[in-house]
């Protein structure tokens, strides 16, 4: 049976709900991200006053798993955090992304202080544009969930907001953006989405990337 890249991503996300993964963001990411983006437009502390988003290094120093979005794809694939890489072009084609690679991680790998064991990275051109993984928790009240968010708060230099079980870190200009301006901004603005898997509450999705590809993956997964 032939699967498109999106189907494989969604199959991985679905499987990852039962392991350590990020299906939560993919399942409802479109609605959540739309709400988060609309709300973030009015965040006073995000008043940059221009259309220049923070660089990934300024937004989240050190990136995730030792990788940084915007970094060289070829060099990032050599990271010791990535094992058993399985890559393929994205089909059907999308303007925001070209290729996706699934990976396993060494036993000691951690994100925000919590253990993880697999994930995926996404390429556009010759650059990394999205890193996705997830964190297993016991339930919605697991102290680890709050600890993860607190850890990101201390590392991410940006405003965050919480909508239900979702926490979105994003830096937006105070001024209203036209559709064209927002489209351009979304290609360059780094964001971090942490989301509780809605059905079992046993997973925290973690998606770190540029706004456009993160929103795309959420939208695809929600269909």
* Residue-wise pLDDT tens digits, 106-163: 888 899 999 898 999 999 999 999 999 989 899 888 999 989 989 999 999 887 777 7
DSSP, collapsed to helix, strand or coil, labels residue 169 as strand
Q: Which helix (H) or strand (E) holds 118?
A: strand 118-124
Note down the domain range covering 55.
5-222
Contacts of residue 28, defined as CB under 8 A and 6 or more positions apart, other chains included, come to: 195, 198, 218, 222
Q: Is residue 50 classed exposed, middle or buried when 0-12, 13-18 and 19+ CB atoms within 10 A define those classes?
A: exposed
pLDDT at 50: 62
Backbone φ and ψ of 39, nearest 5°? -70, -35
Adjacent-strand bridge partners of 184:
none
In the structure encoding, which two tokens stand for residue 205, read together? 């999705």
pLDDT at 13: 44
Number of domains in the chain: 1
Tell which wins on pLDDT, 74 or 171: 74
- Quickly tell me which residue has 């994205």 as its tokens: 90
Q: Are 212 and 24 in contact (CB under 8 A)?
A: no
* Region label for 40, one of left (φ > 0), alpha (ψ between -120 and 50) or beta (otherwise): alpha
Sign (positive/negative) of CA torsion 195, 32, 69, 57? Answer: negative
Alpha-carbon distances of 122 from 75, 92, 168, 220, rounded to whole Å:
13, 14, 20, 14
Question: What counts of helices (H) and strands (E) characterise the chain?
Answer: 7, 10
Q: Are 168 and 192 in contact (CB under 8 A)?
A: yes
Average pLDDT over residues 207-218: 84
């Amino acid at each position: 049976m032939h699967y498109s890249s999106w189907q494989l991503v969604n199959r991985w996300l679905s499987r990852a709900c039962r392991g350590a993964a990020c299906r939560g963001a993919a399942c409802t990411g479109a609605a959540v991200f739309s709400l988060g983006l609309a709300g973030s437009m009015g965040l006073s502390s995000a008043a940059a006053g221009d259309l220049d988003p923070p660089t990934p290094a300024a937004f989240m120093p050190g990136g995730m798993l030792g990788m940084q979005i915007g970094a060289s794809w070829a060099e990032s694939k050599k990271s010791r955090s990535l094992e058993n890489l399985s890559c393929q072009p994205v089909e059907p084609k999308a303007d925001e992304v070209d290729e996706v690679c699934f990976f396993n991680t060494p036993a000691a790998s951690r994100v925000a202080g919590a253990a993880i064991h697999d994930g995926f990275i996404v390429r556009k051109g010759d650059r990394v544009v999205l890193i996705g993984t997830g964190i297993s928790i016991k339930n919605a009240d697991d102290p680890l969930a709050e600890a993860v968010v607190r850890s990101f708060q201390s590392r991410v230099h940006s405003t965050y907001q919480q909508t239900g079980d979702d926490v979105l870190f994003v830096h937006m200009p105070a001024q209203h953006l036209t559709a064209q301006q927002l489209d351009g901004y979304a290609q360059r603005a780094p964001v971090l989405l942490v989301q509780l898997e809605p059905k079992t509450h046993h997973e925290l999705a973690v998606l770190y990337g540029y706004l456009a590809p993160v929103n795309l993956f959420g939208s695809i997964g929600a269909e």
